[in-house]
Amino acid sequence: MATNMQPDVNIGPSAVIAGWTEASIAVIVVTARTYAQAKVVGRMGVEDYLMIAALIVAMLNTSLITHAVSWGIGRHIYYLTPIETINAIKFEFIAQTPGIVAPTLARVSFAIYLLKFVGTSKLRRYLLWSVVWSQVIVNIIQIVLILAQCQHFAALWNPAVGGKCWSRKVQVYSGYFLGALNCTHDLILTFLPVVVLKDLNITRRIKVILGVLMGMSIFAFAASIVKTIELGNLGKVSDFTYFTVSFIIWFTIENYVVIIAASIPSLRPLLLHVKKQVSSRGDSYAMNTYGAKRATKGYVPYGEGRDGTLKSTNNRTTTNVTGSVITELRRGWMLW
């Protein structure tokens, strides 16, 4: 028996490092998104609050996983004491609920965000609302199945409690269904924006840029597939505390990729704002330099018109251009 035992290694920290690295990126992206909507756009929508909630819940999941690793997740189960085994599995199970809620909130947030761009198309609106409600309903059912699979809740991590539990296949098959549903929704949230952008009266270049930004859910689709495969493999092993790490990593990747991918399109107002500020400073410097050089040659420097307009005068023509028009001309090609 002893010859078949693997060395006492710990791969749990890899899940912790991956989780908090992704969490850090998600915090930066969601913070930038919140600033863009609250300060640049001037209003926060339901989808923005849902995304903030998704991030908080995802970080709760990562915190619980970190605690589970401290108890022994990532080590072979036969090296753990009974107390370590119970606590490691307990916190891993508790982490599953926020791990399901987080990507659900993120997908619902992105679907609501896309409702702004589908216009009056009933089919597209019905499609997005079906994503919203099926995400909510099916994921709630999945959480109930996880929590209700044993007669006594504590029996999920402590067999000594006793009581009957469902077959592990119930969780595997329900996980397959949930994974398939999430993959389908990720595809819808990836390709529907492409269809919507095709109908907008904007340049092809802007369509491509926005299509890439709004189609990043394809990465969530890939992560969801791998996570579902890992779930199937997990149901076949007895060394749960060791082999669950791969599932946890992909579970975490899916959580944060959905949040990040669904938030990036909302950064556009902030990027335009930064671009405008940089352009304005460059234009101001160029205007001041040009005006100073031309002042001795009969030109009135820019910004010196009595009516507050930008003015350049020579012997043949006089041109008045208001600052707001310059701003709109600068931004116009980037507007929806």
Per-residue model confidence as pLDDT tens digits over 33-54:
999 999 888 889 999 999 999 9
Question: Confidence band (pLDDT; 50, 70, 90) for 236?
Answer: low
Least confident piece of the model among 72-81, 90-99, 130-139, 236-245: 236-245
- % of the chain exceeding 70 in pLDDT: 80
**What is the distance between the alpha carbons of residues 135 and 32, in angstroms, rounded to a whole number?**
26
- Long-range contacts, 281-287 (Cβ 8 Å, 24+): 283/326
Least confident piece of the model among 105-109, 219-223, 305-309: 305-309
Per-residue model confidence as pLDDT tens digits over 306-326:
443 333 334 433 333 333 333
Does the domain at 8-267 match CATH 1.20.1070? Answer given as yes
Closest C-alpha among 303, 276, 274 to residue 287: 303
- Long-range contacts, 270-279 (Cβ 8 Å, 24+): 270/32, 270/33, 270/35, 270/36, 270/40, 272/40, 272/331, 272/334, 273/36, 273/40, 276/327, 276/330, 276/331, 279/330
Question: Confidence band (pLDDT; 50, 70, 90) for 20?
Answer: very high
The DSSP symbol for 196 reads: H
Q: What pLDDT, on the 0 to 100 scale, is given for residue 289?
A: 55
Characterize 143-168 residue by residue with b for buried, 16 or more Cβ atoms within 10 angstroms of its Cβ, and e for exposed. Answer: bebbeebbeeeebbbbeeeeeeeeee
Per-residue model confidence as pLDDT tens digits over 270-285:
877 787 777 666 555 5
Maximum mean pLDDT: which of 19-23, 165-169, 245-249, 290-294: 19-23
Distance of CA 137 to the CA centre of its chain: 21
CB atoms within 10 A of CB 224: 28
Question: How would you classify residue 163: left for phi > 0, otherwise alpha for psi between -120 and 50, otherwise beta?
Answer: left
Q: Looking at this protein, which amino acid is placed at residue 112? A: I
Q: What pLDDT, on the 0 to 100 scale, is given for residue 266?
A: 86
CB atoms within 10 A of CB 194: 15
Cβ atoms of 263 and 65 within 8 Å: the answer is: no
CB atoms within 10 A of CB 187: 15
Helix (H, G, I), strand (E, B) or coil at 269: helix
Q: In the chain, what are the domain boundaries?
A: 8-267, 273-334
- % of the chain exceeding 90 in pLDDT: 46
Report the chain's mean pLDDT, rounded to a whole number.
Answer: 81
Q: What pLDDT, on the 0 to 100 scale, is given for residue 313?
A: 38
pTM across the whole model: 0.78
List helix spans (H) across the chain.
Answer: 12-35, 46-71, 82-114, 122-147, 168-198, 204-214, 217-234, 240-263, 268-294, 323-331
**Which has the higher per-residue pLDDT, 153 or 134?**
134
Question: Confidence band (pLDDT; 50, 70, 90) for 334?
Answer: very low
